[in-house]
Amino acid sequence: MITITPAAAAQIQTAALQGGTQGMALRIAAKRDAEGAIQYAMGFDDASHREDTRFDSAGIELVVAATSTMLLEGTTLDYVELEPGHFDFIFMNPNDPNYRPPQEA
């Protein structure tokens, strides 16, 4: 369903350690906005619902609500340097109409 890169996994583990949320799953949510693009949210969560999908990627336990499952299918979560010194998570999602695959050099 979702692939987490090693860089993203390392940053998620660092954030869990800093926030005291080790052992909690990372919940990822997605919804379409009015223009059809997909908006994302994520955070550590110790709650579980019967409809949730739980799985592991790169050693990170993930939780996705049933309402987000189809939107996130095939997504890769990465942690990259967008500008010098500025790192952020990015979602590479083929279900998002604004997604453009990275170009090979």
Which CATH number covers residue 88? 2.60.300.12
Query: In the prediction, which pLDDT does 34 show?
Result: 92
Domain span at 59: 2-92
Rounded Cα distance between 96 and 84, Å, is: 26
Where do the H-state alpha helices sit in 1-105?
6-19, 66-72
Q: Tell me the pLDDT tens digit for each residue of 46-97.
A: 887 889 999 999 999 999 999 999 999 999 999 999 889 999 999 999 999 8
3 state DSSP class of 19: helix
Query: In the prediction, which pLDDT does 104 show?
Result: 61
Within a domain: 99 = no
Query: In the prediction, which pLDDT does 44 show?
Result: 96
Number of domains in the chain: 1
* 105 confidence band (pLDDT: 50, 70, 90): low
